[in-house]
Amino acid sequence: MITVEYCQMMARYNAWQNQSVMRCFKALGLKELRKDRKAFFGSLWATGNHLLWGDQLWMSRFDGGHGPATGIPESTRLHDDLQLFLDDRLRTDRRIERWAGKLRQLDLVGDLNWYSGAMKRDFAKPKALCIVHFFNHQTHHRGQIHAMLTAAGQQPDDTDIPFMPD
């Protein structure tokens, strides 16, 4: 289904896109980030927090490391401080890149087992499917963020993978 190279490319893409988003977040400031923009999670801030929360949750399942202590309802309030958020976003992106850099094709085979607090049950799904979902979840919510940033007068970077810097 997927390859190690796909995971490494998507980890790089995630970091590149998040750098662009974080530049725009800094330019807007917390007041503008918290403004209700009628998106699924309301604001840029809530959506960015949820995305970071989701990345940390899935990485804890993939690498066995630390994950968020809260559930989906609290995911939009992971951070209250912009600089703490930016620092955590950068650390999480580096974690994703390190994880992808150590993958072997064998690591993408078999099932991933976890308990979903949102669904209140155990799951076993193919690892490759879960990894594709992980990267798709990022792209989905960053697309929402990109649209809100553009509407707020910001100019985030192009989102096309072929134009990702080397």
> Domain coordinates of the chain in residue numbers?
4-157
pLDDT of residue 146: 97
pLDDT of residue 57: 98
pLDDT of residue 153: 97
Dump pLDDT digits (tens) for 16-31.
Answer: 999 999 999 999 999 9
The pTM for the full model equals: 0.96
pLDDT of residue 117: 87
**Dist. CA 10–CA 137, nearest whole Å:** 12
Please answer whether residues 116 and 124 qualify as being in contact, where contact means their C-beta atoms are separated by less than 8 angstroms: no
> Is pLDDT at 86 greater than 90 in this prediction?
yes
pLDDT of residue 18: 98
Confidence of residue 1 (pLDDT cuts 50, 70, 90): confident
> Is pLDDT at 64 greater than 90 in this prediction?
yes
Please answer whether residues 59 and 67 qualify as being in contact, where contact means their C-beta atoms are separated by less than 8 angstroms: yes
- Express as a percent the part of the chain with pLDDT over 90: 97
- Tokens 């604001």 belong to which residue? 43
**CATH number for region 4-157:** 1.20.120.450
pLDDT of residue 149: 98
pLDDT of residue 13: 98
> Is pLDDT at 115 greater than 90 in this prediction?
yes
Q: Phi then psi for 152, rounded to 5 degrees? A: -85, 5
> Is pLDDT at 34 greater than 90 in this prediction?
yes
The residue among 22, 36, 45 whose CA lies nearest residue 93 is 22
Confidence of residue 37 (pLDDT cuts 50, 70, 90): very high
Q: What is the mean pLDDT of residues 43-57?
A: 98
pLDDT of residue 118: 87
